Amino acid sequence: MLEPLAPIGRDPDTDGYVRDAWSPAEMELREWFAGEAARRGLDLREDRNGNLWAWQGEPGPGRPGVVTGSHLDSVRQGGAYDGPLGVASAFAALDLLRARGVTPARPLGVVCFTDEEGARFGVPCVGSRLLTGALDPARALALKDDDGDTLADVLTKAGRDPGRLGRDDETLSAVGTFVELHVEQGRGLVHEGRPVGVASAIWPHGRWRFDFRGQANHAGTTRLADRDDPMLPFARMVLAAREAAARLGVVATVGKVRVSPGNANAVPGQVSAWLDARGAGERDVRALVRELAEGAGAAVAEESWTPVVSFDEALRDRLARVAGGGGTPAPVLPTGAGHDAGILATAGVPSAMLFVRNPTGVSHSPDEHAEQADCEAGVVALADVLEDLCR
Ligand code: GLV
Ligand code: MN
Ligand code: MN
Ligand code: MN
């Protein structure tokens, strides 16, 4: 099922995917979603925030459905599985239930959340955050991409009404339970020797922008003593982040940097760097950011913060039992990766996640992988879980 998606947004030089929200690549993927829904006779809806829903059976007041799915956008130069595996598996699990002759007693939905990665506008899980009211629509609309286009501009260009963005109780009330299947982004299942696992928790995590300002100047004629070079405090911050993360037992990453004006023969005038910090303990993550901000000599802005997510234990154990296929329950693992399922869980929607083994653990990279047999095991587990939840 992922095969028709393989060329969409693929960079032929790297085999990586660039599937920014609302880009031509993501629009093509949304078309694919609509086609898959139509092929199965599902009722397709786009909600106020651009999330796509395909329903088998009509959800309504007092009749919420069981929903599964994920996202189709990617990080820049991402892999083929982060997101699309969950959406393709959702459709495949519906097919499997039909082949089994199962008539679900509840409406069944497949969802594609928009802009999960935040690759374009900086804030992750924009679609699910807007849906649940966790992101203020005015703030979302003002977010800018690297070209300076706001989300409002981009939505207008895509033929959407930016004025409709915001908390959507009607759509949300249709979701009785949400299950997101995702490629594992680590090697937990490799260590367990199992193809499928269940999420226990998502670490608290956030993104911060550090703006280091200096004085742009000539690289040849400006004496060292006369320089105000923002690259130096930036470099110190990167090293300090690594040292503090190791000391505090968290992870910290500087994966995006913008150097202005970006001349090889000029001292830069400004360096902007994005810090991503996560860990099991919120206090440690906060301590790291505070420590870096205090020592950096930069203007620091929090771009997003996601508190810890502890998935509903009863639902989690039910999934582990069902996904275990009658044998040993599937292993239960925490993750440092953010997901729309976490946003829904925080909003009070009973939510859970299935992970599919990733042989190398590599993710957010073209090297991300999952074996065909493990993907199939994921679909079977998801179908079993949906069948159980729809009783
Ligand atoms: C999403 O994949 C994230 O955890 O950044
Ligand atoms: Mn991701
Ligand atoms: Mn993902
Ligand atoms: Mn010159």
Q: Give the domain ranges of the chain.
A: 3-203+308-389, 205-305
What span, in angstroms and rounded, lies between the C-alpha atoms of 183 and 166?
29
Report the CATH number of the 205-305 domain. Answer: 3.30.70.360
What parts of the chain have a pLDDT lower than 70? none
The pLDDT assigned to 146 comes to: 93
Phi, psi of 228, rounded to the nearest 5 degrees: -120, 85
The pLDDT assigned to 391 comes to: 87
The pLDDT assigned to 71 comes to: 98
Is 86 touching ligand 1 by the criterion CB < 6 Å?
A: no
Is 338 touching ligand 1 by the criterion CB < 6 Å?
A: yes
Q: Is 182 annotated as a binding residue?
A: yes
- Tell me the fold of 3-203+308-389: Aminopeptidase (3.40.630)
DSSP symbol at 329: P
Is 178 in a helix, a strand, or coil?
Answer: strand
Is 337 touching ligand 1 by the criterion CB < 6 Å?
A: yes
Distance 118 CA to ligand 1 centre (A): 9
Same fold: 3-203+308-389 with 205-305? no
Q: Which ligand is nearest to the CA of 219?
A: 4
CA angle 228-231-235, nearest 5°? 130
Q: Which ligand is nearest to the CA of 363?
A: 2
DSSP symbol at 95: H
Q: Count CA atoms closer than 13 A to 171's CA, side-chain side.
A: 26
Q: Is 76 annotated as a binding residue?
A: no
Distance 327 CA to ligand 2 centre (A): 31
The pLDDT assigned to 217 comes to: 98
Q: Is 71 annotated as a binding residue?
A: yes
